Amino acid sequence: MTTPTNYDTLHARDRAAVMPTYGRAPVAMVRGSGITLWDSEGREYLDFISGLAVTALGHAHPDVTAAIAQQAATLTHVSNLYLTEPMLDVAERLQQHLGWPDGKVFFCNSGAEAVEAALKIARRHGRAISADKVDVVALHGGFHGRTLGALAVTANPAKRDPFQPLGAWATHVAHDDVVALEAAVTERTCAVIIEPVQGEGGVWVVPDEMWVAARAACDRVGALLIADEIQTAFGRLGIWFGWQRTGVVPDVVTVAKALGNGLPIGAAVAHGQAAQALQPGDHGTTFGGGPVVCAAARTVLDVIVRDGLIEHAAAMGKELEARLDAVIEASPLAVGRRGLGLLQVLELSPDVAADVVTAALAQGLMINNVLPNALRMAPPLTVQPEDLDLMAQRLSQALAAVAKDIEAGQGARS
């Protein structure tokens, strides 16, 4: 009998005490620094997923760590019964980076909650016009979160169906079908919600024409346009916010993931008329806008500016594309890529993404299979050219290992 590893012990405890909602890779992470992680067995990994586009400044960023420690030692929590300054610092920075001096921020604790806030803003806005102006139009391939409201606007049947009924107020159109979008928006519509790049759905870039059509349709019926930038904001696409590259200005933006570099913070930001929709008592949360998460977020935003990380991410996005092109050239399994900036997928044929993820992990590279034929990469904004080289090397080895298995007749996992 072999002695159980640290991982075996942790895995047994996970099975015994934690709900089995996640399909986890068979590793337990214990420490991180920059783009590198170490597991319970002391193995080292290159992190090209960033905790699902969260740790944009890398792990254990010294400035963020110091800000958290200092705030935790000063004031951790008082609730929204009282004012605290770190929250104001983040709200003002969001106004500034969005270019919305009249923007108003609602702070919460996750992406799904930011979407809920945006949907409640839209409901309140719609119902002020007419009692039945409550419908929301969203896109197939979109992902907006797992709470019931956010799930109602998420199209994915696998995620929705076990939890029906979710209400008849949300409808979906294809992510590139302008005509269907125009037809779906009616006088009953209070909002259209769109991600600039559909992250969880498989990294599909939503065409600019869809934004233009959504804006026009919303203006036609007096509905709000919500940009769900939970995955795409703060430089992930090589620009502060994805909507800024479309020429279309939304009424509400939702953010979360990268804002706290790993601490749980989300926000819905509205401007213009939408900023007036929620009134005292309409919405709230105990933890939202707390001093520790806001101290982290304030530092994240300041480091992005100080270190020129938006420009850096744009440049590294181009380099990432070049590395992926070289991989496509060299590996028969890799057939294409899509994405923007530092949110990219490598397209595979056949559907072996799960096998490549497993093989890559064995090579010390963390990526994820966002679809059966698509490998997602979302490295930190601080990624360097030498990290991209190492990624390409490990990815090529992983692809070669899977290709060899296929040749040996073991094929893709079904």
Ligand X SMILES: *Cc1c(COP(=O)(O)O)cnc(C)c1O
Residues that bind ligand X (CB under 6 A): 110-112, 115, 143-145, 195, 199-200, 228, 230-231, 256-257
Q: Could you identify the residue written with the tokens 């907006």?
A: 144
Q: Between residues 154 and 299, which has the closer beta carbon with respect to ligand X?
A: 154
Helix (H) or strand (E) run with residue 252 in it = strand 252-255
Are 391 and 46 spatial neighbours (Cβ–Cβ below 8 Å)? yes
Q: Between residues 123 and 257, which has the closer beta carbon with respect to ligand X?
A: 257
Q: What are phi and psi of 256, to 5 degrees?
A: -170, -105
Strand order in the sheet with 374-377: 334-340, 343-348, 374-377, 368-371
Q: Between residues 119 and 359, which has the closer beta carbon with respect to ligand X?
A: 119
Contacts (Cβ under 8 Å, ≥6 apart) of 302: 63, 93
CA 68/CA 66 separation, integer angstroms: 5
CA 133/CA 153 separation, integer angstroms: 16
CB of 204 vs ligand X, minimal distance in Å: 12
CB of 288 vs ligand X, minimal distance in Å: 13
- Indicate the residue whose CB is closest to ligand X: 111
Q: Can you state the angle between helices 291-306 and 85-98, rounded to 10 degrees?
A: 40
CB of 243 vs ligand X, minimal distance in Å: 13
Q: What is the full DSSP assignment across 349-364?
A: SSS-HHHHHHHHHHTT
Residue type, 1: M
CB of 228 vs ligand X, minimal distance in Å: 4
Q: Between residues 55 and 363, which has the closer beta carbon with respect to ligand X?
A: 55
Q: Between residues 115 and 248, which has the closer beta carbon with respect to ligand X?
A: 115
Q: Between residues 61 and 257, which has the closer beta carbon with respect to ligand X?
A: 257
Q: Between residues 112 and 217, which has the closer beta carbon with respect to ligand X?
A: 112
CB of 413 vs ligand X, minimal distance in Å: 26
Show the tokens assigned to 58: 């890398």
Show the tokens assigned to 10: 């942790």
Show the tokens assigned to 34: 């920059």
CB of 110 vs ligand X, minimal distance in Å: 4
Helix (H) or strand (E) run with residue 116 in it = helix 111-129
Q: Between residues 133 and 144, which has the closer beta carbon with respect to ligand X?
A: 144
CB of 325 vs ligand X, minimal distance in Å: 26
CB of 103 vs ligand X, minimal distance in Å: 19
Q: Between residues 149 and 238, which has the closer beta carbon with respect to ligand X?
A: 149
Q: Could you identify the residue written with the tokens 């939503």?
A: 206
CB of 147 vs ligand X, minimal distance in Å: 7
Q: What are phi and psi of 213, to 5 degrees?
A: -65, -40
Pairing of strands 252-255, 224-228: parallel
Q: Could you identify the residue written with the tokens 């969005």?
A: 98
